[in-house]
Amino acid sequence: MIQEVIGVGGMGSVYRARDLHFPNVVKLVAVKEMVNLAPDPLVRKTIIQNFEREANILATLTHPSIPSIYDYFSRDDRSYLVLEFINGKDLEAVISETEGFLPDEQVVAWAIELCDVLSFLHTHKPNPIIFRDMKPSNVMINQYGHIMLVDFGIAKHFQSGQKGTMIGTEGYSPPEQYRGEATPLADIYALGATLHHLLTRRDPRLEPPFSFDERPVRKINANISAEVEAVIERALQYDPKDRFPSAAEMKDALVAAARQTGLLSRMPAQSAPAIQANGIKPLWTFKCEDEIRGTPAYFDGNIYVGCYDNNLYALTAADGEFKWKYATDGGIVSRPAMFGGNVFIGSEDHRLHVVTARSGKVVWTHYTDGPVRSSPCIAEGHVFIGSDDGYLHAVNVTTGRPAWKFEAAGAIRSTPFVANELVYVGCESGEFYCVDFKGELKWRFRAKRAVTSSPLVSDQAVYFCSLDGILYALDHSNGWVLWRFRLGKGSIVSPVLADDLIFTGAADGFIYAVNVRTSKEVWRFRTEHQVSGSPVIYKDALYCGSVDGQLYCLEYRTGRLRWKFSTEGPITGTPLVYDDIVYVGSTDHQVYALLA
Amino acid sequence: MINFFRKLFGGKPTSRLDNITTAPLSPQQIQDIIEAQNPRFELQQLMAGSGQSVGKQRELNEDSLLALTTTLTGNGGGVPFGLYIVADGMGGHQYGEVASNVAIRTVGGHIMRKFHPYLFNLQPEQLDESLQEIMLAGVVQAQQAIQREAPGSGTTLTAALVLGQQVTIAHVGDSRAYAVYPDGRFDPITRDHSLVKRLEELGQITSDEAAIHPQRNVLYRALGQGEVLEPDLFTVPFPKKGYLMLCSDGLWGVVAEQDMYRAIVEAPNLQRACQNLVTAANVAGGPDNITVILVQMIG
């Protein structure tokens, strides 16, 4: 007696039914119906014979994780299999009904049971049985919490070979299965894929085929131990030779990993960083009289850095020896620019100062009507610099004579960028401007909040962040928004580029890497406080300070931590890397030189 | 050895290959030649041609294309604007031709609605979406429209929005966008969402095996199929010295790159170039529907 449809598959349906051979009790069974679509009578007959042969084999299997088969029959164009009814739900339903990740000890326990049943099938005599279709929807969890394998490869005979363009990939099957090879090792791969799905919640059918290595388990679900990840990784090798040779060995590896994690879970978690922070000794430090919020510059063996004690300092790069200091009448928060043997620096005393790099003698100064917190940008014989007076100033680099000034809608603290004979700069009002060399507006763009971040122009686009929490990519020739990437919070960080990645940070404490073409996040790294200073790229590493007081060195391709170094105050400036040495200022009043 | 040959051939001087090779041109020289071939045009603008054929072996054309080139300029300046879409309906499915048609109209309609105020309003306002977000919204709408209009069917979609110097591309399936350079290089801009391509990328099969693989038509991502659709979305600079080419697999799967290149350069204009490409695919057997769009930016 058919009670209800409990599932519909590609080849037919599954019904819940009551077995009327036992009229006095309720015995529930599942009836699987398969429709024979082959048009040719001879093919149809072969299909039915194969079905019956396999049903016979399955009927002889006795294993707690394999449903019993009670009967089978064929009628007209349909064949039926009567099976044990499993009161439970399949793993696909389990995943979709769970919020967050499944507990790893639960998944590993199921995995061990799955290895057991696969091992049972693979060692079946006289011929091994290949399950062929391991995936979450074919694994049921019964009312006792144990796994049951359902939907044996028996249905495959009913699949007609369709011609033309078809859609669909298993997502769980290994590459060799598409060449028609089905071996025990294919089941091991599919088990690996199933476990990957269970632990990461990332459905492989929605990802490019065979791309598990692009999303390691622990990158998505940090709770998983390295040992368990390694087992799954090995099961998912492209080359069958590199996988576990048998389900039994995979089980052993899982048990070993589980034993280790079981021990680990009783200990306080959190793995230590690759290198301890206190393992790094600075080459030298230099103490100023107030906070260093700005960024150092290098020229001819010396480091130049502005300080909130109003001074611009010149130190020797090799040992941090004091050479000279030049006093302005306001705090210095910007980065010096070097040109023609002179140092250019803005100060909160409203002036742009130009002094000789050798001795710190003043060459000329340029007055604006507000504090200067923007850094100078030198190009085509001019210095471009913003001021809190709301103007972008263009000044002749040698004579100090003003060429023009461009009126913005608010203070300019962003550092101008010059490319393609155009000047790009952001503004505290949220406007972003592109101005030509005559000081005339080419185009403008409006972000929702201030653009303090300094722009970066490549042949693709102009990039900058805003306090509205977005990293923008605009067409540099007309200001069209190509893409927007949402950061967790507002940002004043100036992005940097390397290869096809753009890096920035935000007040949410993360350092981000984003693909410049696709605007997809490649990785993010959490610091312990806001990121206000900008990252720099040197060789294969990224260096970035955080308000948590630490300087981080990450592998820029992966975002993996190499080392970190603690200062005694928030770092709000950008490090400088020159000749394998990182120079960074901190609000603890000190400049540090560290080995990159 | 040489002496032995001299003896053998009566002391004839042996010619050395080195003497007849010419030095390769420097990038600057190539640049100069290209500059000389491309006269300067005062107004920067887009030009496009397109071609389509049902092929020699199919009865139904399931490919759809949209090519829209706009030049709008005046005192305030202007930027070239173009929208180009190729969609290839799924053969094994019902209503493949409906799916591809719905796809180009929905995506095209959405994008044009977004840009209409920018192109024609006297005081254009800033769009509050990025180009990639507009493209994505168009694709999502098309996905819903196909599931509504032709449930169960599917289509590929390769859409290129040219605005100024940048091309923003939305891509699903195995139609392709190429940057075609004047030296004959075909750089695929898109990546096929096909099983065979994936196997090839992993080194499981060679490109020769891929070309004849029985499952070479199997896609793992198509518009109208599945619940979650993640199109590839990206922005690249327009291939300014060459062409942007969009085509269905009825062209790229049938005609070799050097033959496609010859068909393009031997034609007097883009429309003829597209016709030549279609003809080349038909001469090679025309096993599938053929669709191609060529776009050039001059000035």
Closest CA to A509 of A540, A484, A538, A487: A487
Reading the block at residue A521, the tokens are: 């996040």
C-alpha atoms less than 13 angstroms from C-alpha of B290 in its C-beta half-sphere:
27
Q: Which residues contact B110 (CB under 8 A, 6 or more apart)?
A: B134, B137, B138, B141, B142
Asked whether residue A158 carries a pLDDT value surpassing 70, the answer given is no
Task: Tell me how far CA of residue B80 lies from CA of A176, A261, B43, B46, B167, in angstroms.
Answer: 48, 60, 10, 6, 11
Between chains, do B215 and A178 touch, taking CB under 8 Å as contact?
Answer: yes
Judging contacts by C-beta atoms under 8 Å, the chain A residues touching residue B226 are: 205-206
Asked whether residue A447 carries a pLDDT value surpassing 90, the answer given is yes
Q: Which H helix or E strand runs over A318?
A: none
Interfacial B residues in 115-154 facing A (CB < 8 Å)? 126-127, 129-133, 154
* Interface contacts (A, B; CB < 8 Å): 112
- Chain A residue with CA closest to B213: the answer is A179
- Confidence at A477, pLDDT banded by 50, 70, 90: confident
CATH of A88-155+174-266, one of 1.10.510.10, 3.30.1360.120, 3.30.43.10, 2.60.120.1440: 1.10.510.10
Between chains, do B154 and A167 touch, taking CB under 8 Å as contact?
Answer: yes
DSSP 8-state class, residue A559: -
Cα B99 to Cα B157: distance, rounded to the nearest angstrom: 10
Cα A560 to Cα A562: distance, rounded to the nearest angstrom: 6
Interface mutation vs chain A, best among B72, B143, B165, most A CBs within 10 Å = B165
Between chains, do A475 and B164 touch, taking CB under 8 Å as contact?
Answer: yes
Alpha carbon of A427: minimum distance to chain B alpha carbons (Å): 17
Judging contacts by C-beta atoms under 8 Å, the chain B residues touching residue A163 are: 92
Q: What is the pLDDT of residue B209?
A: 79
Strands A510-515 and A521-526: antiparallel
Between chains, do B93 and A178 touch, taking CB under 8 Å as contact?
Answer: no
Between chains, do B218 and A518 touch, taking CB under 8 Å as contact?
Answer: no
What residues of A are in the B interface, CB distance below 8 Å? Answer: 162-169, 175-176, 178, 205-206, 208-210, 238, 445-446, 459-461, 473, 475, 477-478, 480-484, 515, 517-519
Judging contacts by C-beta atoms under 8 Å, the chain B residues touching residue A236 are: none
Q: Write the class of the CATH domain A2-84.
A: alpha beta
Peptide bond into A216 cis (omega under 30): no
Between chains, do A206 and B228 touch, taking CB under 8 Å as contact?
Answer: yes
CATH of A492-596, one of 2.40.50.180, 2.40.128.630, 3.90.1150.10, 3.30.390.30: 2.40.128.630
Taking CB atoms within 8 Å and a gap of at least 24, the contacts of A230-233 are A230/A257, A231/A257, A232/A192, A232/A195, A232/A196, A232/A199, A233/A192
Q: How much of chain A is in helix, strand and coil states, percent to nearest 5?
A: 20, 35, 45
Between chains, do A482 and B132 touch, taking CB under 8 Å as contact?
Answer: yes
Do the domains A88-155+174-266 and A492-596 sit in the same CATH topology, yes or no?
no
Between chains, do A478 and B217 touch, taking CB under 8 Å as contact?
Answer: no
Write out pLDDT tens, residues A521-536: 999 999 999 999 999 9
For chain A, what is the largest distance between any 2 Cα atoms, rounded to a whole number of angstroms?
107
- Contact in structure between A243 and A188 (CB atoms under 8 Å): yes
ipTM value for the complex:
0.73
Judging contacts by C-beta atoms under 8 Å, the chain B residues touching residue A443 are: none
Write out pLDDT tens, residues A198-232: 999 988 887 778 888 888 888 888 888 888 899 99
Judging contacts by C-beta atoms under 8 Å, the chain B residues touching residue A167 are: 90, 93, 154, 218-220, 222, 225
Residue with tokens 């490919």: B63
- Contact in structure between A183 and A130 (CB atoms under 8 Å): yes
- Residue A514's CB is within 10 A of a number of other CB atoms, namely 24
Between chains, do A206 and B226 touch, taking CB under 8 Å as contact?
Answer: yes
Q: Calculate what percentage of chain B has a pLDDT beyond 70.
A: 87
Residue with tokens 């640049």: B31
DSSP 8-state class, residue B120: H
Between chains, do A480 and B226 touch, taking CB under 8 Å as contact?
Answer: no
Between chains, do B202 and A175 touch, taking CB under 8 Å as contact?
Answer: yes
Cα A561 to Cα A231: distance, rounded to the nearest angstrom: 24
Cα A16 to Cα A31: distance, rounded to the nearest angstrom: 6
Closest CA to A458 of A435, A477, A430, A486: A477
Nearest to B198 among A162, A165, A209 (CB): A209
Interfacial B residues in 213-232 facing A (CB < 8 Å)? 215, 217-220, 222, 225-226, 228, 230, 232
- Contact in structure between A511 and A528 (CB atoms under 8 Å): no
- Contact in structure between B163 and B81 (CB atoms under 8 Å): yes
Write out pLDDT tens, residues A30-80: 887 777 776 677 777 777 777 787 788 778 888 888 888 888 888 877 888
Closest CA to B90 of B78, B99, B81, B102: B99
Q: Of residues B23 and A142, which shows the higher confidence score?
A: A142
- Chain A residue with CA closest to B233: the answer is A518
Alpha carbon of A461: minimum distance to chain B alpha carbons (Å): 9
Write out pLDDT tens, residues A237-256: 988 899 999 998 998 888 88
Between chains, do A445 and B126 touch, taking CB under 8 Å as contact?
Answer: yes
Quote the mean pLDDT of chain A.
85
**CATH level 3 topology of B45-190+220-298:** Phosphatase 2c; domain 1 (3.60.40)
Q: What dotted CATH number matches A289-446?
A: 2.130.10.10
Task: Tell me how far CA of residue A299 lies from CA of A326, A343, A416, A572, in angstroms.
Answer: 16, 9, 21, 22
Judging contacts by C-beta atoms under 8 Å, the chain B residues touching residue A166 are: 90, 92, 217-219
- Confidence at A384, pLDDT banded by 50, 70, 90: very high
Cα A251 to Cα B192: distance, rounded to the nearest angstrom: 37
Cα A486 to Cα A494: distance, rounded to the nearest angstrom: 15
Alpha carbon of B104: minimum distance to chain A alpha carbons (Å): 19
Between chains, do A519 and B193 touch, taking CB under 8 Å as contact?
Answer: no
Between chains, do A162 and B129 touch, taking CB under 8 Å as contact?
Answer: no
Between chains, do A461 and B204 touch, taking CB under 8 Å as contact?
Answer: no
- Confidence at A103, pLDDT banded by 50, 70, 90: confident
DSSP alpha helix (H) spans, A98-239: 104-122, 184-200, 217-220, 226-235
Closest CA to A566 of A594, A538, A534: A594
- Confidence at A377, pLDDT banded by 50, 70, 90: very high
Amino acid in position A453 = S
Nearest to A482 among B79, B218, B235 (CB): B235
Write out pLDDT tens, residues A265-313: 432 233 333 344 445 788 888 988 888 888 999 988 899 999 989 999 9
Residue with tokens 């020769």: B208
- Residue A467's CB is within 10 A of a number of other CB atoms, namely 20
- Contact in structure between A34 and A78 (CB atoms under 8 Å): yes
Cα A423 to Cα A439: distance, rounded to the nearest angstrom: 9
Q: What pairs with residue A383 in β-bridges?
A: A378, A395
Between chains, do A517 and B234 touch, taking CB under 8 Å as contact?
Answer: yes
What residues does each domain of chain A span?
A: 2-84, 88-155+174-266, 289-446, 492-596
Cα B242 to Cα B110: distance, rounded to the nearest angstrom: 29
Closest CA to A421 of A435, A407, A406: A435
Q: Touching check for B44 and chain A: CB below 8 Å?
A: no
- Confidence at B3, pLDDT banded by 50, 70, 90: low
